Amino acid sequence: MMSLLCITVISLTLTGRAYCETNKVIPVKAKLGATVTLPCQLEDSIIGHRVLWYKADDEDADFEELAGSMGLHEWTSKSFNNRVYIQKISDNDASLVITDVSKDDIGRYRCEIINGEEETLHDYELMVESDIPEGVVFPYSPHGGRYSLNFERAEKACADQGAVVASFEQLFQQWEDGFDWCNAGWLNDGTVQYPINKPREPCGGSQNGPGLRNYGKRNKKTSRYDVFCYVSKQNGHFYWLVQPERLSFDEAVQACLDDGAEIAKVGHMYAAWRLEGYDRCDAGWLADGSVRYPIANPRKNCSPTEAAVRFVGFPDKKKKSYGVYCFRPEQ
């Protein structure tokens, strides 16, 4: 646990009480639903001191009392529903513990330790992160093969899959989450890049570290690459359509229509896989004529090493070898 001591100058308040304040607001990150500790300690014992914790929803709001202790007497705000307490794992510890962190816990926190005429203050900014991403970036190349899209065709390709061309920020965030892809694709600023987490010779060299390999801005009319598309959570239901027999592409399209839905797009599958944890080890037709299947839980004979949307290919559309994934929009 981080130990913070008061290191700034003692000054005099209007009330005549001397106080000591840390020189900056300390940022603290917590995952949604997790437990977080905001550390507050003195070099000597806090026994006999009065400890107060405050919260402000933002930097312009007033601090409101959240929790406190004095000797054996302790209290906490009812608004936190018994989710907060002062830790006191040692005689000099006044750290605040927040359990089952929610978005409502975002804000500024202040620890105030009062000893007679002297105060010690520590300020924190709590940021809450969700493990569930808001969207997903996926690489796309059409039936014509890799590196066949100029920028205009790249935009259309993403739109046809229920997505948009990804931004640098969206690709960077997914790279931070482990995304690794060794084919260059358009981004919405007209640059061409690709994310590498496992450096290797064919992908920018094994001596270069992980990162986004950047070709810079390319000619939007004449340059040909793949594209990185971005899709957010879909308003509808993505599902595998149970059928007694395997289907051709045209039969797959009709089967979804008969079920009150449409054949799913590649973007629908990626959104369901990444944002909802959809997992099925059955290869099925999608609207672009490709065959894919989503694996959220890696296992033998499906995707043994990683969670991924597996690409089978663009088979002969007359071939009756696959099932179908459908998408039913919300009404």
pLDDT per residue over 275-331, tens digit each? 999 999 999 999 999 999 999 999 999 999 999 999 999 999 999 999 999 999 987
Q: How far apart are CA 21 and CA 107, in angstroms?
A: 19
CATH number of 233-329: 3.10.100.10
Residues 99-126 have a mean pLDDT of 87
**Predicted pLDDT of residue 30:** 87
CATH topology match: 135-231 vs 233-329: yes
**Predicted pLDDT of residue 131:** 60
Each domain of the chain, given as residue ranges in start order, spans 10-129, 135-231, 233-329
Spatial contact of 65 and 54, defined as CB atoms under 8 Å apart: yes
Best CATH choice for the domain 135-231 from the list 3.90.470.20, 3.10.100.10, 2.40.50.140, 3.30.365.10: 3.10.100.10
Q: How far apart are CA 98 and CA 237, in angstroms?
A: 36
Q: In 3D, which of 2, 27, 23, 28 has the Cα closest to residue 11?
A: 23
Instruction: Compare 87 and 195 and report the one with higher pLDDT.
Output: 195
Residues 109-127 have a mean pLDDT of 87
**Predicted pLDDT of residue 6:** 38
Regarding the domain delimited by 10-129, which CATH topology (the fold level of the hierarchy) does it fall under? Immunoglobulin-like (2.60.40)
**Predicted pLDDT of residue 157:** 98
Q: How far apart are CA 194 and CA 248, in angstroms?
A: 34
Residue 177, number of CB atoms within 10 A of its CB: 13
Q: How far apart are CA 52 and CA 19, in angstroms?
A: 14
pTM of the model: 0.63
- Confidence class for position 102, pLDDT limits 50, 70, 90: confident
**Predicted pLDDT of residue 45:** 75
Spatial contact of 227 and 149, defined as CB atoms under 8 Å apart: yes
- Which tens digits make up the pLDDT trace of 124-170? 999 887 665 689 999 999 998 899 999 999 999 999 999 999 999 99
Instruction: Compare 49 and 245 and report the one with higher pLDDT.
Output: 245
Q: Percent of the chain, pLDDT > 70?
A: 91
**Predicted pLDDT of residue 268:** 98
- Which tens digits make up the pLDDT trace of 215-266? 999 999 999 999 999 999 889 999 999 999 999 999 999 999 999 999 999 9
The answer to which of 18-22, 68-72, 266-270 has the lowest mean pLDDT is 18-22
Q: In 3D, which of 329, 307, 315 has the Cα closest to residue 286?
A: 315
Residues 184-190 have a mean pLDDT of 97
